[in-house]
Amino acid sequence: MKYVYRSMAAIGLGILLATYPKAVANQAQKILAQSNPGSNANQGKAQTQTTQIQGAWWQNPGYWSFGVSLLALIVSWEPKIRAKFGSLKIRIKTPDQFVLYNVFGNLYINIALDINNFGDKTASISKIVCLIQNKSDRKQKLMLPVRTYHSNISTGLPEYGFLVETSWTTSIPPRLPTQSTPDLLFGTIYLKPGESWTKAVTCYNLLTREEEKRLNQVVSNGKENILRKSDNSKKKQSQGFFRNGGLSTRISPPPPFLLSSMSMDDTAYSEIRTFCTGMLKREIELVEGGYRLFIAAHSEKETLCVWEVEFQLYEQNIQDLLDFENYKYGRFYSPKRVYLRAERIDRTPEESLKEYNNKLISS
């Protein structure tokens, strides 16, 4: 709609400029005639000057019609002209906190992204990548592409533990994951000039077929071990109930939201723990110290923009990431999440982009 208004304004300006010279000529003739109405010489002089004004090239309506048409055409085609010859400028921003955790030794990142297109061209973002690098040992780095994003961002505790507003800054209590915030698979993002994309995303690597096969095997063994111990426990409770004439105190089943306290034996747990530890070391060696996090938006041909922050891993953070105690009780999908503070690096986007591309080349 704004381009229609621009075209109308251009046409109106052209009409005004086209009628203005004629108005000037008529006014000049009136002034000369009124200065000495009885003089034929002055009247002839005024007529001659008026004829000269009216005979100028800019008095010809054809020139103004062409100029107005050309101006209206340029205004109406302005978006396409800017898209063809303009610049592509993408900016990424993140909050000062993100979540790091692992599922069976596979590291995950939850972080909110705010991507803005403030250039002249439509941006096509086909891939977003998070790159973690140890500041002390630059060979230790891990690349985690964005796989999914949340359909919306709401206050509280959305699915997979991402906090938009922490519980101590809002009166709304954290809520459990629900189907109202499902994960959607990440695809290509198209951003027109002036548009933005703000989502909470999840970054992780996919397992290979061999890793998936091994993981399914150890998890299945652990579940069977717990079920077998649970069945034996139920049989003992049933036998005790009938021995006491049915008057013994029976343990009522726990509510659905409570997790089972039945644990697997040491052999099954050791198998799962060995698998998870091996997976985690395969990706990156987590040690206490400083790390850098690069968040890069890619098109099909190039890296469009990079956002760079720093964070610190402490010994307690590493212990939480290496804590697989939940798996012993069959809690396979409730990992411990580590909330980390992200600090912006005093570096221009161009410098961050160059540093990121150098890391890609060296990897």
Which pLDDT tens digit goes with each residue over 223-262?
888 888 776 655 555 444 444 444 444 444 444 433 456 7
Tell me, what's the pLDDT at 10?
Answer: 56
Tell me, what's the pLDDT at 282?
Answer: 82
Confidence class for position 84, pLDDT limits 50, 70, 90: low
Confidence class for position 85, pLDDT limits 50, 70, 90: low
Average pLDDT over residues 303-329: 91
Which pLDDT tens digit goes with each residue over 96-128?
999 999 999 999 999 999 999 988 888 999 999
Tell me, what's the pLDDT at 197?
Answer: 94
CB 112 within 8 A of CB 200: yes
Distances (CA, A) of 297 to 121, 131, 180, 197, 326: 16, 11, 27, 12, 35
Average pLDDT over residues 55-63: 62
Residue 213, φ and ψ in degrees, nearest 5: -60, -45
Q: Is 44 exposed, middle or buried (0-12, 13-18, 19+ CB in 10 A)?
A: exposed
Give me the residue spans of the domains in the chain. Answer: 2-76, 90-210+265-362
In sequence order, the 6+-apart residues with CB closer than 8 A to the CB of 103 are 204, 333, 335
Mean pLDDT of the chain: 74
- Token readout for 123 is 């941006």
CA pair distance 77, 82, nearest whole angstrom: 9
Which of 282, 363, 293 lies closest to 102, judged by CA? Answer: 282
- The pTM (predicted TM-score) of the whole model is 0.66
- Has residue 146 got a pLDDT over 80? yes
